[in-house]
Amino acid sequence: MLATRQFHASSGKRPWTFYALASLFGAYLLFLYGPMLVMYLLSFQGPNGGVTFPMVGVSTVWFEDIMRPGQMANIPVAFERSIALASIVSLVTMVVSVAAGLGFRRRFPGSGLLFYLAVASLVMPSLLVGFGIGLGFKALGIKADLLTSALGAQLTWTLPFGLFAMFAVVNRFDRSYEEAASDLGASAWQRLRHVILPILLPGIIGVGMGAFTLSYDEYARTTLAIGSRNTLPLEIYALISSATSPTLFAIGTVTTTVSFCAIGVTLFVIFRLQRRRKATALQFN
Amino acid sequence: MLAKYDVELIGVTKRYGATLAVDNISLRIPQASYCCLLGPSGCGKTSTLRMIAGHEPISNGDILIRDQNVTDLPPAKRGTGMMFQSYALFPHLNCLDNVAFSLKMRGTGKTERHARAREFLNLVHMGDFADRLPAQLSGGQQQRIALARSLITKPRVLLLDEPLSALDPFLRVRMREELKRLQRDLGITFVHVTHSQDEAMALADLMVVMDDGLIRQAGAPREIFERPASSFVARFIGGHNVVPGERGLVAIRADRCRLGAAGSGPYLSGRVAAVEYQGPLVRVALETEFAGQATALLPDKLFYAGPVAPGERATLVWSEEDVHALPNA
């Protein structure tokens, strides 16, 4: 295997499989990003244009259209709800995943069963989970709402994901860091505060970001558990089934921008964390 | 009054479920000494060290540090410091903050703890690396930082878990000297776990040979090398031939054996299996009929006066006074 690779590297000739797989990957990229690029482009359609090419001029009227609460949907309000819900979901997921991740490092009676119970939610049909939660709230006489049933429904989705990701992060955490800390006189709280959390921080931020984006575009579980105040994906869906105009494309462009901003902010925070560490280091020079 | 022993183990046992890792061992480590726990992997040496450190609960027995029973005390209250095999330097803190960590936990102010940390960085010749992160250091440098971080707690006993195993051979010898120098200068006890006989012999005042959860022999390296207590010890520390004698097994140092003809003294004959040139010495391994492999370490001058080649027949001879009877074969 290694010998073949070195042989090809030295002769500069790639096997035909390279070109076959590269073409396949290229086709995949086109399939993934092509339609999205078309959508971004068409969202700048002129005021008299339609939902297909050709572009009839260039304008931002469809973006302005989003901001006007329409009959079918109120996009700005739904957007605010989605951001608020996603932030709360992200926070809860981070806290619970870190606690569970640290707890699961040691085997305890029933830990296997508990783990499977927690992640089973990933394989259950999303729509039915949401339906069950909606039904349950109705049966108990509690009003289904954004921060009650919808929050719960989304957590059944983000928590198992967060748990899986945290297990991977925690598994790479060397136990001797903790032992060294307790050797140096750190209490349990100090170990968590000064050693465990800082070392795990990039992973924790990653889990938070993952939960945020999962929540931000969650549809299936939320739709039957949301009550009357819709999140953004639900509003968009209502809009798609009722009207077709480049406004939909504009919404797509804006929401994608928000997702990329979330990723950008996360990376920026991680970058700043590392730079601050270096900066504190430098001031002692 | 000063305690006579820095560390005392009294009937210490460690069980993991049904397996016995350390089996009722007792040991006294005198004041300010360099003690090496030596043994093959799985012999219980690391478990013993971790029990002294307080990172492993003790199944049975007691551990005393300077006459104080520390069996149930947490690691930081024992007066021990531990240096981990992986060094366990905190990757998010620079060297200065790593070394200052224990002071920070105790609530020492920033200026003071940084000043103290600098002293200890200088002690291990790492003063210029205060602002570096551990990932930016070589293995040897990381080890110095780990050493400084442990020493700043002013431990009575420093515990080192295979501290040299991650270093390249050249650096290993240099760090070895440095560890010994630090131990002498600080006047505290070092307990050093290793599987390398060379390391233990070079460093130890007290060498403890362990196997199978038991202490097979404890004493000064020279005493153990000259009078191994059992065939296991003789084979493990190396440099010995273990052969059947008149009353059980006996050990003969390989460097006391010569090649020659069978005479009135004891001898073993066999076929030369290997010849290794080692500079000042030449090692000749013999496959013998009755005693398995036996080796002779010959001064190069002597070997080249009458060289042998692999495959040839040869006879190993030694004098009666070099025969050491093994008390517990």
* Chain B residue with Cα closest to A177: B88
* pLDDT reading at A284 higher than 50: no
Lowest mean pLDDT, pick from A101-115, A232-246, B60-74: A232-246
- Give residue limits of the domains in chain A: 72-282
Amino acid at B86: S
- Contact yes or no for B284/B295 (Cβ under 8 A): yes
Which ipTM score applies to this complex?
A: 0.85
Question: By the CB < 8 Å criterion, does B113 face chain A?
Answer: no
* pLDDT reading at A122 higher than 80: yes
Averaged pLDDT, B246-255: 88
Question: By the CB < 8 Å criterion, does A285 face chain B?
Answer: yes
Identify the H or E element spanning B80: strand B80-83
pLDDT at position A208 is 92
Best of A169, A178, A184, A276 to disrupt the B interface by mutation (most B CBs within 10 Å)? A184
* pLDDT reading at A279 higher than 60: no
**A71 confidence band (pLDDT: 50, 70, 90):** low
Interface touch A177/B81, C-beta < 8 Å:
no
* pLDDT reading at B319 higher than 70: yes
Interface touch B105/A186, C-beta < 8 Å:
yes
Quick one: how far is CA A118 from the chain centroid? 19
Nearest CB among A176, A190, A281 relative to B88 is that of: A176
Question: By the CB < 8 Å criterion, does B166 face chain A?
Answer: no
The domains of chain B, with CATH numbers, are 5-226 (3.40.50.300), 254-325 (2.40.50.100)
Nearest CB among A177, A186, A201 relative to B88 is that of: A177
Mean pLDDT across chain B: 91
**A17 confidence band (pLDDT: 50, 70, 90):** very high
Averaged pLDDT, B124-146: 91
Averaged pLDDT, B66-78: 92
**Which CATH number is A72-282's, of 3.30.230.10, 1.10.10.1100, 1.10.3720.10, 1.10.8.190?**
1.10.3720.10
**A10 confidence band (pLDDT: 50, 70, 90):** low
Question: By the CB < 8 Å criterion, does B129 face chain A?
Answer: no
Nearest CB among B92, B96, B101 relative to A184 is that of: B101
**A11 confidence band (pLDDT: 50, 70, 90):** low
Identify the H or E element spanning B64: strand B60-65
- B13-26 per-position pLDDT tens digit: 999 988 999 999 99
- B138-165 per-position pLDDT tens digit: 888 999 999 999 999 999 999 999 999 8
Interface touch B75/A182, C-beta < 8 Å:
yes
**A124 confidence band (pLDDT: 50, 70, 90):** confident
Question: By the CB < 8 Å criterion, does B86 face chain A?
Answer: yes
CA atoms within 13 A on the CB side of B106: 14
- CA-based radius of gyration for chain A: 24
Closest CA to A211 of A97, A81, A125: A97
Nearest CB among B80, B84, B133 relative to A180 is that of: B84
- A206-255 per-position pLDDT tens digit: 899 999 989 988 888 888 888 778 888 888 888 777 767 788 888 888 88
* Residue A54: cis peptide before it, omega within 30 degrees of 0: yes
Percentage with pLDDT > 90 across chain B: 73
Could you give the CA distance from residue B98 to residue A277 in angstroms, rounded to a whole number? 13
